[in-house]
Amino acid sequence: MQTPQVISPFLGLLLLAVLVLLFAFWMKRKRTPVAARQLADTPAYEVLCIDGPLRGRRYRFERPWLLIGRQPGCDIVLQGPLISRRHAFLSANQNALVLKDLDSTNGTWFGKQRVNEIVLAAKQPFQIGAYSFVVVGIGQNTPSPVPSAIQYQENPITSMAIRDVYLADYDRVSEIGKGGAATVYLYRHRQAGSRVAVKILHDSADPYFKQKFKYEGQIGQYLQHPHIVKTFGYGEWQNVSYILMEYLPQGSLREVMNRGSLTLAQCIQIVGQICLALEYAHQQKVYHRDIKPENILFAENGVAKLADFGIARLTGMKTLTQAGMLIGTPEYMSYEQAKGAEIDGRSDQYSLGIVLYEILTGQRPFTGEALTIVGKHLSEKPLPPRKINPNIPRNIERVILKALEKNKNARYRDMITMAQALGFQPDPGLVQAPVVSAVVPAKTPAGAARVVNLQTGMTINLSQVGTVLGRDNVGNPQVSRQHARIWLSGTNYVIEDLDSLNGTYVNGSPVKSAVSLTPGSYIHLGSAQLQFQVD
């Protein structure tokens, strides 16, 4: 019988050490293959901060993308009131670097323009709040000199040719007002004499403004309320974007305030009417985000109406500092906007409280440079308005201070409750009254009806029994062979989409079922731009 061999203690320890080393090597391989695989798929890039509090810091791509924001879980964590929790997303692959803004409050900037999504080249700087970055190869440095913080300059209307749009049967009368992104003109109907306001986007507006301008036109048609400025349509004519809307001749609340003081009863009536408008908008999940006197307009009968949904927080962008950019009007910005936090209807309530504060005291609760004001929204309590104007009733002061609470849960639960606390009594007839339309109703087509291709000038005469619009008669490859049909229904022409690939739109709204056309209606079939006309 053979005696079994016994492994010596030395060999046992050696074998154990080998097993430990093999296990450690296996664990290391288990932890690193993801990064190794990603580095194989992702260019050898890193993000370098070239200006701001983190200047000189580098961030490697451990996977094909980096998340940038204030939230602790982000790959690049930034601090400051201009940074949203999840602010931007930067992806990299062998073919492209793509920077995408994640609907941040104060924007992602490239080349002095706010961007939604852009393809970057290496070493092209972009800016988020007080921070400037470039994407470079690992270990590489940025080009010299380092770009300074982005500064915003308004687009001067005088530096460009006068832009115009052609509206059937309307003539342009005069300029009503202008801002950094758009100019508003008064148009008059040749026969009826009715007036409309037409907002025309400046040619020099950057892509972000163009997208938000389109959004304003679309959402304006969606919101229908007696205390919201009526939007009749959005469109383009010869690459000029415009919004057709109700003309309000009595000007803005800012103009009224500049002309002299308002009575307490007038203040309550104005703010109460805007409360009704905001309550309606909030029920539609729409939050204005730029409540200020310039955006409260008056009809001929003195009714207050809220304007500029959609790009309202952009049109007030006038004050920027080297520390970064600010979207909106800092003096009227809510606590949540200043913090870069999620907003809801109570944010608009905060801003409206500032408007009421200013009407009754003649000054805003927080003043100074842009970032100073932001800091005050975040940390300072407003001076009680009765300290400035002792004639303000105590109950009105309580309403103002409650609306200006830093904690939105301490404010009024909705705009109706705020209006009731002010003692506002709505006019039942006014609340139910339809908004007066400045567009001439469709007339009985005694003469010929047609659509005109605004890009080619081609005219398509319409048959009362029906005309199909398609690729052949419209002359556009993005139009389906049988795209839409127009026919006479009673005294109105109507249009329906024929299950087209790229959709049919009337005055910017998608056609999902038959829609009535009025003379001058703009029809979009894909990229083809047409106008409906009647003799």
Catalytic residues: 290
CB 449 within 8 A of CB 533: yes
Helix residue spans in 189-294 (DSSP H): 207-222, 253-259, 264-283
Measure the CA–CA gap between 400 and 421, rounded to whole angstroms: 10
Listed in sequence order, the DSSP H helices in 136-206 are none
Query: Which residue, 480, 473, 482, 481, is CA-closest to 453?
Result: 473
φ/ψ of 277, rounded to 5, equals -65, -45
Q: Which helix (H) or strand (E) holds 128?
A: strand 126-128
Q: What is the torsional sign of CA 136, 137, 140, 143?
A: negative
Distance of CA 387 to the CA centre of its chain: 37
At position 459, the amino acid (one-letter code) is T
Encoded tokens for 289: 């985000």
Task: In whole angstroms, give the CA distance from residue 365 to residue 278.
Answer: 22
Alpha carbon distance 401, 425 (integer Å): 21
Contact 474, 484 (CB under 8 A): no
Answer positive or negative: Cα dihedral of 390, 393, 394, 397. negative
d(CA 127, CA 111): 9
CB neighbours of 253 closer than 8 A, spacing ≥ 6? 270, 293, 294, 296, 297, 298, 304, 355, 359
- 3-state helix, strand, coil split of the chain in percent (to 5) is 30, 25, 45
With contact defined as beta carbons under 8 Å apart, do 108 and 115 qualify? yes
> Phi and psi for 493 in degrees, rounded to 5?
-85, 140
CB 245 within 8 A of CB 196: yes
CA dihedral (28, 29, 31, 35) positive or negative: positive
Main-chain dihedrals φ then ψ at residue 366, nearest 5 degrees:
-130, 130
Which tokens in the block code for residue 518? 């009025």
Q: How many residues are there in the chain?
A: 535
SS (H, E, C) 457-492: CCEEECCCCCEEECHHHHCCCCCCCCCEEEEEECCE
